[in-house]
Amino acid sequence: MNQPHKKHDHAETHNPSRQTDRLLAQPASEPASATRMTKPHHEQIAERAHGIWQRGGSLPDQELETWLKAEGELTDESAKV
């Protein structure tokens, strides 16, 4: 089967301003340090928070505080890797 020959637009590939526009339209890559830090998963936070809650004496009404502490610890740990 013969396929029609596709014309190549030399104006776009040889026009420096078009190439610059195309490069500027691409999203900037994040620094390596930003990509290493990952947000902990819900299950990881829940497990860590449960451990914190148990070690803290299993006090009532501490859900938010222990969740935030667990999330912060896990985030800090992932940033160090």
Distance CA 41, CA 22 (A): 36
Q: What is the pLDDT of residues 7-59, one digit of tens each?
A: 555 444 455 556 555 555 555 554 544 445 678 999 999 999 999 999 999 99
What HEC string does 11-53 produce?
Answer: HHHCCHHHHHHHHHHCCCCCCHHHHHCCCCCHHHHHHHHHHHH
Backbone angles phi, psi at 37, to 5 degrees: -80, 120
Confidence of residue 5 (pLDDT cuts 50, 70, 90): low
pLDDT value of position 38: 78
In the chain, domain spans: 31-81
- Torsion angle, alpha carbons of 70, 71, 77, 81, to 10: 150
Is the pLDDT score of 73 beyond 90?
yes
Q: Which of the pair, 73 or 6, is modelled with greater confidence? A: 73
